[in-house]
Structure 1
Amino acid sequence: MAPQTYETTPTRFVEANGIRYAYRSLEKESGVPLVFLQHFRGTLDNWDPAVVNGLAKDRPVVMFDSAGIARSGGQTPDNVAEMARHALAVIQALGLRQVDLLGFSLGGFVAQQVTLDRPDLVRRVILAGTGPQGGEGFDKFSPEVEAVAALEKSRPENLLFLFFAPTETSQAAGRAFLGRLGARKEDRDPPSTVQVRDAQLAAIHAWGTPQGERYARLREIKQPVLVVNGNQDIMIPTINSYILEQHLPNAQLILYPDSGHGSLFQYPELFVEHASLFLRG
């Protein structure tokens, strides 16, 4: 039997608090499960198989659609605190007693909140293309980013602008990424709805709005954290990765060259190498 991959693993469902959540997993007999937390408007089919399969070689991995997304029930919340509660509901429904987290973009906000809410549950955290609560430059997007991010229909090619740098090398890597996203031919998710777009935009901009003492809660996250980003992130400006590294007590930072918001998808093999080394800790 061929080994299971992210392109072929079936979509399953788990129920928690009256909501049916869609999820996919790649199992291993040992290792701390790595839970993936998804970006704005993303579904199960927006994870790069090169990243998922690479990280799944040494540990169990779990990806899920949160409330209101694709085939999951419920309504998508408009705040990160409630998104974190949904993530915890899925983790608990799957019987996971300790996890590592990989949060990308909006998922990075959720990863921070989950870690604050349940520090006993979380062992290590990877934050990719993301920022702290009250960070710099994402209480609203630039007009150019907003115009693409808020389109009624989210098209894969929009990710070339949002996730990759405007250079030939980065755009070529982006096209290769889009090709990998299309590798799964059956059992695919439907796209996110306008309700998801509007709720998640509200959550992103609320998280990016300073309130009280900025970055104070980052000091409460004692877990080892790996922060990664591209040096040209136009969605969550790269300065936020420096802020995370400076204010988290146990963080390290990797910036990838000639890359943007989706740097982990531009350099999937290198990212998997760095992430695996960090998770082995």
Structure 2
Amino acid sequence: MKTAILATLLAFAAAPTLAWAGAVDAPTRFVEAEGRRLAYRAVGTGRPLILALRFRGTLDSWDPAFIDALAKDFRVITFEYSGIGRSTGARAGTMEAMVDDVRDLADGLKIDRFVLGGWSMGGAVVQEAATRMPDRVSHLVVIAAGPPGQAFWVPEKAFLDAASKPVNDLADEEVLFFRPSSEVSRAAAKASWDRIHARTGDLSPPVIPAAFADQAKAVADFRADTHGVSQFLFTTRMPILVVAGDRDVCCRVEDWFALSGRLATTRLLVMPQAGHGPQHQYPEEVAAQIAVFAKP
């Protein structure tokens, strides 16, 4: 009897002590909101951090290493816009509809105040969301996205060609989110690709081509700045962190440089030899910087 008890205690002591499932294994859950179901996954147990997706993104587009690194400090909640992936309802094809998704997700999860982050198109969505509900967003994180207004640099042709393909392979991912000219970045692309594809079940369907035009128009509307986002950036007291690659072929970091001296609370983190997905090239480092930035 004593031997059996000792063996049980030793086995318990040797077992891993994760308090939550990692991003690769996190189950897809759903929130009912206004007649639709919003698909989401949650990892971690800290303060809530809601992340908005990129152009053509699904729940499976995030690098698990980035999500798991963030989950050391946050309850990280990723989701799919209405009508995208496994979310139901009319497809969210405008900034207003995507912001509604953020709000309704938070309401459905009974989250009043949260850190809000977004990648690429999601970076535009969260700027709009923070403008609309500043009392609910404690800190704003904009990853690989520009400010509203006319961009000084437009996306490069190689990026647009890859972004318009129905399905992307690793070579496309290097062009879209990394720096193909950098050996360091290419190696990071392969490592990130492998991590993302480690999840083999409970996957979301890819975004259909019909949604591409809607999402592209939504980004164009954000650039037109019809909702006062620029004024918000110039006057807000909300802490804002912009994370950028030094050679982003879609959203050049130089567009933020042009606003230097006018941004009230914005900090800029530029990652070296990186492109449009700096958080996937440097998952642990970017997550650590976000944790420091959003420390209560």
Asked if these proteins are the same fold (TM beyond 0.5), I'd say yes
Q: 2:41 aligns with which of 8, 20, 24?
A: 24
Which amino acid letter does the alignment assign opposite residue 99 of structure 1?
F
What does residue 47 of structure 1 align with?
62
CA distance in 2, matches of 1:109, 1:212: 12
SS at match of 1:60: strand
Which amino acid letter does the alignment assign opposite residue 24 of structure 1?
R
What does residue 256 of structure 1 align with?
271
Query: Quick check: 1:149 aligned with 2:166?
Result: no
What does residue 183 of structure 1 align with?
198
Percent of aligned pairs with the same residue?
A: 31
CA contact (8 A) 1:16 1:89 kept: yes
Which amino acid letter does the alignment assign opposite residue 32 of structure 1?
R
What does residue 6 of structure 2 align with?
none
Q: Judging changes above 3 Å, is the alpha-carbon distance between structure 1 residues 155 and 71 closer, same or farther for their aligned structure 2 residues?
A: farther
CA distance in 2, matches of 1:272, 1:37: 15
Q: Judging changes above 3 Å, is the alpha-carbon distance between structure 1 residues 154 and 227 closer, same or farther for their aligned structure 2 residues?
A: same
128-137 or 48-57: which moved more? Answer: 128-137
- How far 1:214 sits from its partner (Å)? 8.8
CA contact (8 A) 2:158 2:175 kept: no
Structure 1 residues 78-101: Cα deviation after superposition (integer angstroms, max 9, x where no partner): 321221112111111111011001
Structure 1 residues 133-162: Cα deviation after superposition (integer angstroms, max 9, x where no partner): 114157x63333222111233445422101
Taking structure 2 as the reference length, the TM-score comes to 0.87
CA contact (8 A) 1:230 1:238 kept: yes
What does residue 221 of structure 2 align with?
206
Report matched runs for 1:164-179 at 5 Å. Answer: 164-165=178-179, 166-179=181-194
CA distance in 1, matches of 2:83, 2:91: 5
Structure 2: give runs of 5+ residues left out of the alignment: 1-14
Which amino acid letter does the alignment assign opposite residue 160 of structure 1?
E
Q: Judging changes above 3 Å, is the alpha-carbon distance between structure 1 residues 214 and 121 closer, same or farther for their aligned structure 2 residues?
A: closer
Q: 1:96 aligns with which of 80, 89, 111?
A: 111
Which amino acid letter does the alignment assign opposite residue 38 of structure 2?
Y
Which amino acid letter does the alignment assign opposite residue 164 of structure 2?
A
CA distance in 1, matches of 2:144, 2:94: 19
Structure 1 residues 183-239: Cα deviation after superposition (integer angstroms, max 9, x where no partner): 112111111111221211111223234669993332243211111101101111121
CA contact (8 A) 2:29 2:40 kept: yes
Q: Judging changes above 3 Å, is the alpha-carbon distance between structure 1 residues 98 and 228 closer, same or farther for their aligned structure 2 residues?
A: same
What does residue 13 of structure 1 align with?
30
Q: Judging changes above 3 Å, is the alpha-carbon distance between structure 1 residues 210 and 118 closer, same or farther for their aligned structure 2 residues?
A: closer
- How far 1:76 sits from its partner (Å)? 2.7
Taking structure 1 as the reference length, the TM-score comes to 0.91
What does residue 119 of structure 1 align with?
134
- How far 1:175 sits from its partner (Å)? 0.9
For the aligned residue pairs, the C-alpha RMSD in angstroms reads 2.1
What does residue 292 of structure 2 align with?
277
252-261 or 237-246: which moved more? Answer: 237-246
Structure number with larger C-alpha Rg: 2
What does residue 75 of structure 2 align with?
60
CA distance in 1, matches of 2:227, 2:130: 20
Structure 1 residues 113-147: Cα deviation after superposition (integer angstroms, max 9, x where no partner): 11111111000111110111114157x63333222
CA contact (8 A) 1:69 1:76 kept: yes
SS at match of 2:89: coil
Q: 2:85 aligns with which of 70, 82, 95?
A: 70
CA contact (8 A) 1:50 1:269 kept: yes
Which amino acid letter does the alignment assign opposite residue 172 of structure 2?
N
144-153 or 11-20: which moved more? Answer: 144-153
Structure 1: give runs of 5+ residues left out of the alignment: none
Structure 1 residues 3-61: Cα deviation after superposition (integer angstroms, max 9, x where no partner): 31111111011110111111100241xx4200011111010011111111011112211
CA contact (8 A) 2:176 2:249 kept: yes
Which amino acid letter does the alignment assign opposite residue 176 of structure 2?
L
